[in-house]
Structure 1
Amino acid sequence: MIARANRIVRGDDYRMTVRRGRRVAAGTVVVSVVRRTADTAGPTRFGFIVAKTVGNAVTRNLVRRRLKGIAHELLQSHPSGYDVVVRALPAAPQATWPTLLEDVSRSFARGVEKAA
């Protein structure tokens, strides 16, 4: 589980990240990354969007748990001060763990490069 300090919990933060962030798409996810300003800098925060197009409730929750596990791994090795929203695409439930991990980590790294 991701600590509360590493989660986006406010709707305004989700909207701001999706609208203003640098968007990078992969086969299973779309990642939006925005660098926070100096006065709001802190740990990197993740948010997840898994729409009904991904599947039923059981499938959506499975995908969300997998994405949270990937975010937990990324927090260990990536820079702080970013807001990241990961939107799952309909192909996400069929993806294997290594594929999903690679798509999210590569998209996050490219988003950080663009946002910096």
Structure 2
Amino acid sequence: MLSQHSRMRRGKEFEAAIKRGKRAGRPTLVVHLGISGEGSPLVGFVVSKAVGGAVTRNKVKRRLRHLMRDRLHGLPRGSLLVVRANPPAASARFEQLAAELDLALDRLLRRRESSTGVHK
């Protein structure tokens, strides 16, 4: 599970990532990445009622938190990352969610590197 100190909780952090950050979409999810300061990366999740009932939404959130735990080290310092689940996430297999999350993150991080001139 993703640690408590890595979870985004404030509305202003969600807003900064969504409104001022970059976005990459996949059929099951949309990922927003913003950079704010030099702190440790924070991750937030948005799973609306369009995804399904409470049980389904919580299952999707648990899966996404578990997936992000292993990917948190790859985010730059000061990252504000919001993962928004789309309705197809409810029926997606764990492996499909993982693959689409990886594709979206890779796309965002490559776009960030090319725009800032930062290379690994």
Aligned to 1:34, the other structure's residue is in SS state strand
Deviations 1:9-60 (A, max 9, x none): 1011001111111110011000001122xxx212221100000000000000
Alignment correspondent of 2:21? 21
Q: Distance in 1 between matches of 2:5 and 2:107?
A: 23
Q: What TM-score, normalized to structure 2?
A: 0.87
Matches within 5 A, 1:49-88: 49-76=46-73, 78-81=74-77, 82-88=79-85
Aligned to 1:55, the other structure's residue is in SS state coil
Alignment correspondent of 2:34? 34
Alignment correspondent of 2:11? 11
Contact 2:17/2:35, CA 8 A, preserved across alignment: no
Contact 1:42/1:80, CA 8 A, preserved across alignment: no
Indicate the structure whose relative CO is greater, using CA pairs within 8 Å and at least 6 residues apart: 1
Q: Distance in 1 between matches of 2:75 and 2:48?
A: 28
Aligned length: 112
Aligned to 1:60, the other structure's residue is in SS state helix
Aligned to 2:34, the other structure's residue is in SS state strand
Name the Cα RMSD after superposition.
Answer: 1.2
Gaps of 5+ in 1: none
Q: What TM-score, normalized to structure 1?
A: 0.90
Q: Distance in 2 between matches of 1:63 and 1:74?
A: 17
Alignment correspondent of 2:108? 111
Gaps of 5+ in 2: 114-120
Q: Distance in 2 between matches of 1:5 and 1:32?
A: 19
Q: Distance in 1 between matches of 2:60 and 2:50?
A: 12
Contact 1:29/1:103, CA 8 A, preserved across alignment: yes
| Match for residue 98 of structure 1 among 95, 99, 118 | 95
